[in-house]
Structure 1
Amino acid sequence: MTAEQVSEQAAAWFDRGEFREVLARRVAMATESQRSDRQAQLRAYLHQEIAPSLVEMGFTLHWLENAEAAHCPFLVARRRENDALPTMLCYGHGDVVFGDDENWRSGLTPWQLSEEGDRWYGRGSADNKGQHSVNIAALQQIFHARGGHLGFNCTLLFEMGEEISSPGLAALCQQHGELLQADLFIASDGPRVNAERPTLFLGSRGCVNFQLSINARDNACHSGNWGGLLSNPATQLANAIASLVNQQGQLQVTALKAPSVSAAVRDILSDIIVAGNPGDPQTDITWGEAGLSQSERLYAANTLEVLSMVAGNPQRPMNAIPPTATAVCQLRFVVGTDWQNLVSHLQAHLVAHGFPQVEVTFLRGSPATRLDPTDPLVDWTLAIMAESSGKKPALLPNLGGSLPNDVFADILGLPTLWIPHSYPACGQHGVNEHMLKSIAREGLLIMTRLLWQLGEQGNAIVARHRAHRTPEAK
């Protein structure tokens, strides 16, 4: 059998409605990890939906508890065909954000897959049930086409807590490095650059959430009796934030700015057009770092966002000077940013600008990652994607958002290749979330051909990757 023939079989399987049937079952399971009462559903998803499809392909299952979040277990599934073959690690998460049932459009519900034109609506259809279902289906197509073999060793890692920042995932990878040992990592999450263009991204921006607060006094004071005599924490905090990021969204903290965009990254991003697609919000062309294109601002720059601000009672404002003010902010950053010293950098900047009273509290954070775009694995993957889709795929040095990619790239030391099967306007984390049928079908054909070629060329491409990484080869 050839790559073309197995792709034709995969397309026929999809067109018979079998993928839709699988996705409908999985969407129907309310696996909301943000709710403490969903433990049964989270476990059932792995036992009833994921495990059977992998056991049928001869995978050995390893059920691992989560010491940091007991309601979010892990499943590691391994299939070893031959120690002389390369090993691929794949990843998916079966948990979803809150269903937000009451706010979906009339006729839609988060727990029932609904079809309208090219759209399949349902919570998790895009993030991440639809995406990992595509990849499992591609493995099944290869397994059957090769008569019960893949042509490579395969390990799959499933978590059920990604939507609550993946508690326990890093510890799992540190403790079970031998179980998860592999030669390369291929997975799907996040969006393409747009609905029409297949995309490969090599990592993700990092993310740090932090809190800024001013606690001036214990109680509010009448603004008529004390205005002009007492400091206003809300006014002070607004000005403090303005010293961190200006009126055009440009980061003002020198120590937290992104490194200069390299020539290689600039060349990659010159081929990327962001926004301007149906369903996208209208971008502000004057917003963001000066001297950068829109794609560079999204994928190669650091951005500081104010997520929320509170002073007084916004629902019932009083004629009083609020005693405190608080803001939760976020820094999205690229590789090379000194994010681990964020608190000290912010404190030094605020003191220098006259705001020593602002307290900075680190909330949570994850590193930025990026595979070298000159790695032979990158061109190999892009060529297969182009051959399968008949389109020029987009290459992103990293996703604009964040993923737990650091556990695979840094802890496990793997080259990471992400091929998303969604698009920016999918409604991810909002109401009316949906997957495009056209992307799911195209994604299945891409992954089927890619995994077929991994079985054909795996040892050779892994050898080229290793040679590229050794100093003697450069």
Structure 2
Amino acid sequence: MSRESALSRASRYFEAGDFQSDLAHLVTYRSESQNTAPEARMECRRYLEEAMLPRLRALGFDCEIIDNPDPTGGPLLIGERREGEALPTILTYGHGDAVLGQEGRWREGLEPWVLVEEGDRLYGRGTADNKGQHLINIAALEAVLAERGHLGFNTRIVIEMSEEVGSVGLPDVFRAYKDRLTADVLIASDGPRLQPDVPTMFMGSRGGTTFDLVVETHEGAHHSGNWGGLLSDPAMILAHALACITDVRGQIKVPEWRPDSLTENVRMALRDLPVAGGQGPAVNPDWGEEDLTPAERVFGWNSFTVLAMVSGVPEAPVNAISGWARATCQLRYVVGTDPEDVVPALRRHLDAHGFESVEIRCHERGFFAATRLDPDHPWAQFVGESIRRTSGALHVLPNLAGSLPNDSFTDILEVPTIWVPHSYRGCSQHAPNEHVLKSVYHDALRVMAGVFWDLGEQGGPLA
């Protein structure tokens, strides 16, 4: 019975093909939370009842499936495995829902709900986000328990089925079940590693707000020859309005959107972190805030993006001036940005530049608030040292560039949050051809088995 034997057990689970077989089964569940059809809702419940409940109960968890208090959201599973009152309690999390499968848009030979192996890649919807990631953590717990006979800590788990629609209902469930979810720390997995061959740890995430900018100038479309020069062009107005939000290289010009939280401590944590390569697209060094490093731009600063833009009928343009134009936009923001003032600040900025006619329409789907835990926090130090002991190297981020429901853990449950992502940035999550790297998942099983072993052996940083 040793740490290395627990890591070896986790490796054998992967090498024997059992992990791949288990992941293939999870992928078959068409758990699309963005799909409002009744059969999709039933798939989300079936994922919890058939895929998660038996495995967690076999691991010693007392589990309950809870209906979402928000009718637009899917069910949630909460569970607990107790070993002793004096032991630390670890909370872990995953989400079994996925974005739409996007059938017909995957390349030849691939489809969303069947796991396909090609070399080092495993393709399928949810492989990276997030079925494979919480499967790794559950399997790592199993490896430690099988090797030691006990974990050495108490464990609580949450698996939700609404993360891809903004984790609707999760805050309400956390408030209602807070006494059953309190813990000393959250250790969970979502998102990508910074580089595939080096584990990553982050302690928070950027927030996000999505909205439409709409210009409506006249009713209907009118002949561009007869009315050109007489009617306002809504697409032209919208283009100029967007141009006043950032400059030509994407530097934000809305004063309230420029954060004050890029401290020297955060700069030190981000110093020398690689953001290029890793089988992702090429990074443009001349895009974003000019005085910041690439790592500071994506992890320590805000970014504004136009997700989609349309006017008229692009697939069948005619010689007519459209009466409307719309851009779907998003601000990703870090701690130090007031989320309640994001849209009001934009309204003031547009008005000050003469764009009172541009309407801001907020999306109903809420996004998560920005969170960040200091890299020097004792739990961050403990988990980081454990990962280095297994892998020899580690990238530490104060926060993820994307968004997670981390604020529900920090603000409602009041626990420090440690995330150890198992995917990589080129995984095509949310897109056709979603996949994971077998080499990364193999390494991640060993990393998490090491973290859980060290936790049971040492009791965490507060022991």
Distance 1:104 1:324 in 2: 33
1:323 counterpart letter in structure 2? G
Q: Does 1:237 align with 2:238?
A: yes
Deviates more, 1:440-449 or 1:217-226: 217-226
Contact 2:193 2:422 in 1 (8 A): yes
Deviates more, 1:405-414 or 1:357-366: 357-366
Structure 2 CA distance for aligned equivalents of residues 328 and 2 of structure 1: 53
Note closer, same or farther for the CA distance 1:396–1:71 as it changes in structure 2 (3 Å cut). closer
Matching residue's letter, 2:199 = P
Query: Within 1, Cα distance between the matches of 2:58 and 2:166?
Result: 31
- Once the two structures are TM-superposed, the CA of residue 159 in structure 1 deviates from its matched residue by 0.6
The match for 2:430 is 429
CA contact (8 A) 2:73 2:169 kept: no
Match of 2:409 in 1: 408
Question: Aligned pair 1:15/2:15, yes or no?
Answer: yes
Pick one of 367, 370, 384 that aligns with 1:368: 370
Stretch moving more, 213-222 or 14-23: 213-222
Corresponding position of 1:384: 386
Residue in 2 that maps onto 1:258? 259
Measured in 1, the distance between the counterparts of 2:331 and 2:122 equals: 33
Asked if 2 retains the 8 angstrom alpha-carbon contact of 1:183 and 1:462, the reply is no
The aligned residue for residue 293 of structure 1 is 293
**Shift of the alpha carbon at 1:376?**
1.4
Are residues 1:228 and 2:263 paired? no
Aligned match of 1:169? 170
Cross-structure match for 2:122: 120
Pick the aligned partner of 2:56 from 54, 65, 71.
Answer: 54
- Distance, in Å, in 1 between the alignment partners of 2:32 and 2:209 is 23
Q: Deviating runs (4+, > 4 A) in structure 1?
A: none
The Cα shift of 1:260 comes to 5.2
Partner of 1:143: 145
Q: Gapped runs of 5+ residues in structure 2?
A: none
Displacement after TM superposition at 1:8 (Å)? 1.8
* Aligned residues: CA RMSD: 1.5
The residue that corresponds to 1:2 in the other structure is: 2
Displacement after TM superposition at 1:150 (Å): 1.5
| DSSP-derived class of the 1:225 partner | helix
Using the alignment, how far apart are the partners of 2:368 and 2:10 within structure 1? 37
Contact 2:136 2:441 in 1 (8 A): yes
User: How far apart, in 2, do the equivalents of 1:355 and 1:71 lie?
Assistant: 37
* Alpha-carbon separation, structure 1, partners of 2:258 and 2:436: 35
Report the Cα distance in structure 2 between the residues aligned to 1:260 and 1:396, rounded to whole angstroms. 14
Q: How far apart, CA to CA, are the structure 1 residues paired with 2:117 and 2:155?
A: 33
Amino acid at match of 1:162: E
After superposition, the C-alpha distances for 1:432-467 in whole angstroms (9 at most, x for unaligned) are: 211211111111111111111111222x5136xxxx
The answer on whether the counterparts of 2:388 and 2:394 sit within 8 Å (CA) in structure 1 is yes
Identity %: 46
1:70 Cα shift? Answer: 5.8
Cα deviation, 1:363-395, whole Å, max 9, x if unaligned, reads 233210111111011121111101111x31000
What residue number does 1:471 align with? none
Unaligned runs of 5+ in 1: 464-474
1:197 to 2:198 alignment:
yes
Query: Would you say the 8 A contact 1:3–1:449 is kept in 2?
Result: yes
1:208 paired with 2:213, answer no
Cα deviations across residues 306-353 of structure 1 (Å, max 9, x unaligned)? 111222222232322222222110000100102211221111111111
The question of whether the paired residues in 2 share the 8 Å contact of 1:188 and 1:418 is answered with yes
SS at match of 1:461: coil
Report if the CA contact (8 A) 2:94-2:158 is conserved: yes
Q: Residue in 2 aligned with 1:469? A: none
CA contact 1:150–1:455 (8 Å) conserved in 2: yes
Pairwise CA distance, 1:285: 1.6
Residues 1:33 and 2:33 are matched in the alignment: yes
Query: 2:261–2:335: 8 Å Cα contact kept in structure 1?
Result: no
Corresponding residue number in structure 2 for 1:85? 87
Secondary structure (helix, strand or coil) at the match of 1:5 reads: helix
Aligned equivalent of 1:340: 340
Q: Distance in 2 between matches of 1:367 and 1:20?
A: 34
Call closer, same or farther: CA 1:336–1:114 in 2, change over 3 Å: same
Deviates more, 1:194-203 or 1:118-127: 118-127
Shift of 1:39: 2.0
TM-score by length of 2: 0.96
Q: For 1:359 and 1:39, locate their aligned partners in 2 and report how far apart those are by CA, in whole Å.
A: 34
Question: What is the identity, as a one-letter code, of the residue corresponding to 1:142?
Answer: V
Quick check: 1:305–1:330 contact (8 Å CA) kept in 2?
Answer: yes
Supply the distance in 2 between the matched residues of 1:240 and 1:91 (Cα, whole angstroms). 41
Aligned partner letter, 2:442: R
SS in 2 for 1:178: helix
Q: What TM-score comes out, normalization by structure 1 length?
A: 0.94
CA contact (8 A) 1:256 1:339 kept: no
Q: Where do residues 106-117 of structure 1 align in structure 2 (5 Å cutoff)?
A: 106-117=108-119
Change (3 A) 1:70 1:210: closer
Moved more, 43-52 or 65-74: 65-74
Q: In the superposition, relative to structure 1, how do residues 120 and 176 fare at CA in structure 2: closer, same or farther (>3 Å)? A: same
